[in-house]
Amino acid sequence: MSENIGMFGASGSGDTSGFGGLVRSAANFGSSERPYGSYFDEVTDELERAYPEFSDAIEKVIVDRGELTLHVKREKLFETAMKLRDTQSLRFEVCLGVNGVHYPEDKSRELHAVYPLLSMTHNRRIRLEVSVPDSDPHLPSLVEVWAGNNWHERETWDMFGIIFDGHPGLTRILMPDDWPGHPQRKDYPLGGIPIEYKGATVPAPSERRSYR
């Protein structure tokens, strides 16, 4: 009887995806050093001139893979967003939404929110990133700054449990109102039910793979 071999030659583990044995080392970035390159120095300089509390508001500046990310303290998020939108030399008029990320191992900073910004005036892109603890997952809503964030904040609340204070109607948008938990968190159980298909039974996701 031939052995059942999965993707990338995986066998014997019960994980037919081939990804079960992968080990990924997490990069721990400190603040990038100047010069940042591209227009990134100009953006940070203009923001620092327009926002006297820049050094207190920005935890670190990361330039990685051609992208500039400003890590902002949550209590300064709204003010920083306003400066980025309204300062003529910056003019980030568009926020492309907010994405949640869950890092269970990042103690007291388990939940991250990432905001991709676009300046159509200056043809520039940057990102804001904010972290909050799982025990106090509150961020100020930016719907007042960028109205298009309304549905995105609802989705991030629905999937990750980040609470956007001041949102005009923070309710679930994908899952039913009475759904327990937040499905895109890494500690969310896979669950599921077995599925019958042409006489065979596919076990529930929580029972389908072994990661020993």
Question: Distance between CA atoms of 100 and 93, rounded to whole angstroms?
Answer: 21
Name beta bridge partners: 129. Answer: 71, 114
Q: 108 CB contacts (<8 Å, ≥6 apart)?
A: 133
List, in order of start, the domains of the chain with CATH numbers. Answer: 27-180 (3.30.460.80)
pTM: 0.80
Ordered per-residue pLDDT tens for the chain, 212 residues: 444 554 555 555 555 555 555 565 556 568 999 999 999 999 999 999 999 999 999 999 999 999 999 999 999 999 999 999 999 999 999 999 999 999 999 999 999 999 999 999 999 999 999 999 999 999 999 999 999 999 999 999 999 999 999 999 999 999 989 888 999 999 887 766 666 666 677 677 666 655 44
Residues in Cβ contact with 22 at an 8 Å cutoff, skipping those fewer than 6 apart: none
Convert 96-125 into a string of H (helix), E (strand) and C (coil): CCCEEEECCCCCCCCEEEEEEEEECCCCEE
